[in-house]
Amino acid sequence: MLTLSHLAVDHGKARALWDLSLHVGRGEKIGLLGANGAGKSTAMGAVIGLYQVAAGTVTFDGVLQVQPTTAQTVASGIALVPEGRRLFPGMTVLENLQMGAFAATDRADAEPLEQVLKLFPILRQKARQAAGELSGGQQQMVAIGRALMSSPRLLLLDEPFIGVAPMLVEEILAALRQIAVDGVTMLLVEQNTHRALGFVDRAYVVENGRTVLEGGSEELFADPAFAAKFLGLE
Ligand SMILES: Nc1ncnc2c1ncn2[C@@H]1O[C@H](COP(=O)(O)OP(=O)(O)OP(=O)(O)O)[C@@H](O)[C@H]1O
Ligand SMILES: [Mg+2]
């Protein structure tokens, strides 16, 4: 479904991604792991057209992506839950959710909103409240819900558990599992290795802008190189 091939991306004069390759097959849950500054968010930004590709390619459904606009990204079926949530804190929960449907082609469709409110029932109670008044975990539910409003086929999640209380982490993970069962493919950026590998089917490890390891969750756990890099850190 999504393939990044030898991707390089620059931020101004500084190269952030040097050689990142990964593949996300239809229906898969894939992890993207790596330390602060490794280039995980940059990779997601390149997929959604936020950053220009300096070398290599991004293809989605076999179609080469050349810095798509937001409307093109949404129309092709990709939605991003950005790092730090990026809600509009002064707007209501409902208004924030509706922002996610703004660029979608089928604007009249009320179904995604019902699905989101079923997935996160607390958001129904909080619908008229300012998003900024919600807890971190509830705000993350709004951010995920907003992304789902365009009925994406591929959901990109950039560190969705930062600032989320443990109980809500479990609730959000359960919701993400349900979303996957409903047919949405996922690419998850996550710093908590145990949590990530407990959720995804396979993962890639990025270091200094390069993919350095990849494998199934159990395979990575058993890999001494992986253990040396990550498992001691938590
Ligand atoms: N907008 C930007 N302008 C300049 N440099 C940037 C910009 N965004 C990221 N960088 C740099 O690019 C590199 C990769 O950053 P990126 O945010 O992709 O890493 P990350 O893996 O998502 O890290 P984190 O886990 O902290 O979110 C870092 O060296 C970072 O400082
Ligand atoms: Mg990041």
Ligand 2 center from residue 44 Cα (angstroms): 9
Q: What is the DSSP letter of 97?
A: H
Is the pLDDT at 103 greater than 90, yes or no?
no
Q: Is the whole model's pTM more than 0.85, yes or no?
A: yes
Per-residue pLDDT at 226: 83
In angstroms, the CA 100 to CA 91 distance is 13
Q: What is the pLDDT of residues 131-166, one digit of tens each?
A: 999 999 999 999 999 999 999 999 999 999 999 999
Per-residue pLDDT at 100: 87
Residue of 42, 44, 192, 230 with the most ligand 1 atoms within 8 Å of its CB, for mutation: 42
When divided into structural domains, the chain yields a total of 1
**Residue identifier of the C-alpha nearest atom 17 of ligand 1:** 41
Is the pLDDT at 44 greater than 60, yes or no?
yes
Contact present, 105 and 152 (Cβ < 8 Å) = no
Q: What is the DSSP letter of 54?
A: S
In angstroms, the CA 159 to CA 168 distance is 14
Per-residue pLDDT at 231: 66
**What does the DSSP assignment read for 145-200?**
HHHHTT--SEEEEESTTTT--HHHHHHHHHHHHHHHHTT-EEEEE-S-HHHHHHH-
**Residue identifier of the C-alpha nearest atom 3 of ligand 1:** 11
Mean pLDDT for 13-39 is 96
Contact present, 156 and 187 (Cβ < 8 Å) = yes
| CATH (domain of 208) | 3.40.50.300
Question: 40 CB less than 6 Å from ligand 1?
Answer: yes
Ligand 1 center from residue 88 Cα (angstroms): 23
Greater pLDDT, 222 or 48: 48
Question: 37 CB less than 6 Å from ligand 1?
Answer: yes
- At residue 108 the predicted structure's pLDDT band, cuts being 50, 70 and 90, is low
Is the pLDDT at 20 greater than 80, yes or no?
yes
**105 burial level (CB within 10 Å; 0-12, 13-18, 19+):** exposed
The three-state secondary structure class of 46 is helix
Question: 38 CB less than 6 Å from ligand 1?
Answer: yes
**Residue identifier of the C-alpha nearest atom 5 of ligand 1:** 11
Neighbours of 6 (CB within 10 A): 14
Per-residue pLDDT at 109: 61
Measure the N-to-C terminal CA separation of the chain; round to a whole number of Å.
Answer: 32
Which residues span the domain enclosing 193?
2-231
